[in-house]
Amino acid sequence: MKVAGKLAAEQLEMIHAYIEPGISTGELDRICHEYTVQVQNAIPAPLNYKGFPKSICTSVNHVVCHGIPSDKKILKNGDIVNVDITVIKDGYHGDTSQTFLVGKCSVLAERLVRVTQECLYKGIAAVKPGNSLGDIGHAIQIHAEKNQYSIVREYCGHGTGAIFHEEPQVLHYGNPGTGLILEAGMTFTIEPMINAGKRHVRLLPDQWTVVTKDHKLTAQWEHTILVTETGFKILTLRADETITRCS
Ligand code: MF3
Ligand code: CO
Ligand code: CO
């Protein structure tokens, strides 16, 4: 899990350099695919997963998650784009995503992206043995709502390991002290999807792309987490991040 997580994190670091106005999400997909297969000797988990046609998910602006990369979707100045990477290495999954600012973005977009990353970190900080899944969801919900944002409810974090998506469901809202009690050795993702407008979403006819119903902006950040004896380890931590242990 540590190796898979590190590869997924390194891939986000790699693709960061390519995010700029003029590149297509199809090109981002090709770069990540080649990197996964040729450089990392790993498998891109999304490709053919339940029929998903590409190796990464790219979700632009009002796309909540599971955006399908396309040569026709060209990033432009002021867009925000979530790139979601999942690699399989030696049978284990590493799942992580980040929302990038494309060129110069509005203050509103910058704020949504920042607060969503903070929501992820608040959720992670609630991870330690004896705490519950509800503690994670609650920490995220408090921070999102304090900032007048809403939380997508139809999609959530998930157990991951030898299987891409497994139990438990990790909700990004909830009540303290409710739900599954965390134990050392558990591995799961936390991946809040936070909307600038209302929480409601719609699935496009391609049966993958999830958009906000009101077409307002949405952001997402994701890490794969290991519960340790004392707190947590972020298996998909990147070099640009400073959060490393339970506060
Ligand atoms: N990586 C996504 C997640 O965080 C799942 C993508 S499934 C796909 O769970 F089929 F859309 F790729
Ligand atoms: Co995930
Ligand atoms: Co993911």
- 212 closest CA partner among 148, 155, 143: 155
Question: What is the structure's pLDDT at 243?
Answer: 74
Report the alpha-carbon angle 146-193-102, nearest 5.
100
How far apart (Å, rounded) are the C-alpha atoms in residues 246 and 231? 5
Ligand 1 atom 12: residue of nearest CA: 46
DSSP 57-85: EEEETTEEE-PPP-TT-B--TT-EEEEEE
Asked if 24 contacts 74 with a C-beta cutoff of 8 angstroms, the reply is yes
Q: Cis (ω within 30 of 0) for the bond into 69?
A: no
Per domain, the residue ranges of the chain are 2-234
Please give the angle made by the CA atoms of 192, 166 and 56, to the nearest 5 degrees. 60
pLDDT at 245: 52
The enclosing H or E element of 13 equals helix 2-16
Q: What is the mean pLDDT of each run of 10 residues along the chain (247 residues)?
A: 98 98 98 98 98 99 99 98 98 98 98 98 98 98 98 98 98 98 98 98 98 98 98 96 65
Contact indicator for 69, 28 with CB cutoff of 8 Å: yes
Beta strand 57-60 with 63-65 is unpaired
Alpha carbon 38 to its chain centroid, in Å, reads 24
Query: How much distance in Å is there from the Cα of 46 to the middle of ligand 1?
Result: 6
Pick the closest to residue 9 from 40, 47, 55 (CA basis). Answer: 40
Q: Ligand 1, from 28, 43, 66: best to mutate by most atoms within 8 Å of Cβ?
A: 66
In three-state secondary structure terms, 83 is strand
Identify the pLDDT of residue 68. Answer: 99
Please tell me if the CB atom of residue 5 comes closer than 6 angstroms to any atom of ligand 1. no
**Ligand 1 in contact with 29 (CB < 6 A)?**
no
The count of other CB atoms within 10 Å of the CB of residue 71 is 11
Give pLDDT, residue 147.
98
Q: Is domain 2-234 classified as CATH 3.90.230.10?
A: yes
Ligand 3 center to 109 CA (angstroms): 21
How much is the pLDDT for 244? 58
